[in-house]
Every structure is written in structure tokens, then in C-alpha cells.
């Protein structure tokens, strides 16, 4: 079961990282349009729509990735003091009451929405129209990834309720861990205290 959970984590991570390359496309597109508009005096009507679509892909694809890394915003004021079993119980309840209905509705409605757009070959409304229907299929695809990751999180909650410990997650880029950083550079707390005292003494000198 643990291998299956980590496999889905890897899939969500791959999807998020693959779509993250839209940042490069956005950067190049905006840079080129600024140069074209203000230096060459040749603006393009379709660029704004393209920017919105690329950002939409980035935003939608981040959901499953962030959930796989437990990175979504939560109210940790009280939650962090709970035992793992209590945390899992609350998470399971909220996943069932709010997450599953919302994401299933998003995926189902997004699929209908995208197919209706495809049926009429929907385009943007400007002088240089772009096709919209490929972008709208991002909604159900991202919803399906998020739903799959959500099911994995529900399984994690059940496992935590049984064992009292959260199952392991796939390692990825994290914020700086000060304690690990100290170990890497062989610095101890006593060394930092000694350095602080030297700085204080030197600052006290006239």
C-alpha cells in the first residue's frame, strides 16, 4: 500500500513539475511582448489571452502537487497540537464532507464545460483569436489528478487512524531546516553563543 501511495505522489509531482515549465513560457512571452510593444511599436492582441491561459494551466496543475507535499494552507494554531490520530480524524471528516464533493463536481462539470467548448470550436474575442477549448480541458484533467491525490490522502488518514503515525511521503524540495544546516557546516549552538557574546562585547566598546 505504501508503494502505491508514493507512486501516486510521484505522479502528482511529475504533473506539477511538467506544468511548471509554463513559467518559462510566460516569462519569454511577456518579455517578447514588452519589447515588441514598446520598442517595435507592434503590440499583439492575442498575447494577453495566451498569458491568462498559461497562468491558468500553472494554477490548476499546482493543486495535486501541493496536496502531495502537504503544502496547502491550513489553520495550524490548534491542529499542530493534536495527536496524529486526531489530525487524521479531522482530515478524514473534512475530505469526505468538503473535498470529495467539490472536486468530483469540478471534474465532472469541467469535462462537460470543455466538451461544449470543443463542440463549437470556441475562440477568444479579439482581433487575433486563439482557440479556447484546449485550455478548458485543463480543468477536468487537473481535477482528475487532484481527485486521485485526494483519495490517496484519505487512505493516509485511515492508515494513521490505525497505526497512530502518518505514512511517509515522497521527499522533495523543502524550506531550509536550520538544524540540518548546522550539521552540514559543523556548527554547534555553543559556537553561535560564543560568537554572539564577542559581537556584544565589541559593540559595547566606546
For residue 33, tell me if it sits in a domain: yes
Q: Give the separation between CA 123 and CA 132, rounded to whole angstroms.
A: 5
Per-residue confidence (pLDDT) for residue 34, from 0 to 100: 92
Q: Provide the β-strand partners of residue 123.
A: 131
The answer to whether residue 76 sits within a structural domain is: yes
The number of domains in the chain is: 1
Residue 116, pLDDT score? 93
- Whether the CB-CB separation of 131 and 122 falls below 8 Å is answered with yes
Residue-by-residue pLDDT tens, the chain, 206 positions: 778 888 888 999 999 999 999 999 999 999 999 999 899 988 888 888 899 999 999 999 999 999 988 888 777 777 778 888 998 999 999 999 999 999 999 999 999 999 999 999 988 887 788 899 999 999 999 999 999 999 999 999 999 999 888 888 776 555 555 566 656 666 666 766 676 676 556 655 55
- The confidence score (pLDDT) of residue 178 equals 56
Which domain covers residue 73, as residue numbers? 2-176
71: in domain:
yes
In a domain, 169, yes or no: yes
In a domain, 82, yes or no: yes
Among 16, 1, 143, which Cα is nearest to 69's? 16
Integer Cα distance of 126 and 149 in angstroms: 38
Q: Is residue 187 part of a domain?
A: no
How many CB atoms within 10 Å of residue 47? 19
Do the domain assignments include residue 203?
no
Q: Is 192 a domain residue?
A: no
Count the alpha carbons within 13 Å of 164 in the hemisphere toward its beta carbon.
0
Which pLDDT belongs to residue 74?
74
Amino acid at each position: 500500500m505504501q508503494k502505491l501511495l508514493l507512486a501516486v505522489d510521484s505522479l502528482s509531482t511529475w504533473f506539477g513539475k511538467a506544468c511548471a515549465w509554463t513559467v518559462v513560457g510566460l516569462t519569454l512571452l511577456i518579455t517578447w511582448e514588452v519589447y515588441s510593444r514598446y520598442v517595435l511599436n507592434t503590440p499583439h492582441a492575442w498575447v494577453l489571452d495566451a498569458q491568462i491561459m498559461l497562468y491558468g494551466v500553472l494554477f490548476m496543475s499546482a493543486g495535486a502537487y501541493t496536496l502531495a507535499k502537504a503544502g496547502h494552507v491550513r489553520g495550524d494554531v490548534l491542529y499542530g497540537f493534536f495527536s496524529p490520530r486526531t489530525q487524521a480524524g479531522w482530515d478524514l471528516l473534512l475530505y469526505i464532507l468538503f473535498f470529495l464533493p467539490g472536486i468530483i463536481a469540478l471534474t465532472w462539470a469541467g469535462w462537460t464545460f470543455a466538451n461544449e467548448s470543443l463542440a463549437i470550436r470556441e475562440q477568444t474575442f479579439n482581433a487575433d483569436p486563439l482557440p479556447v477549448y484546449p485550455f478548458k480541458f485543463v480543468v477536468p484533467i487537473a481535477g482528475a489528478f487532484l481527485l486521485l491525490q485526494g483519495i490517496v490522502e484519505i487512505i493516509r488518514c485511515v492508515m494513521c487512524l490505525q497505526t497512530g503515525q502518518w505514512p511517509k511521503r515522497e521527499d522533495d524540495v523543502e524550506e531550509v531546516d536550520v538544524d540540518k544546516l548546522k550539521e552540514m557546516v559543523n556548527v554547534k549552538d555553543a559556537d553561535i553563543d560564543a560568537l554572539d557574546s564577542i559581537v556584544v562585547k565589541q559593540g559595547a566598546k566606546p
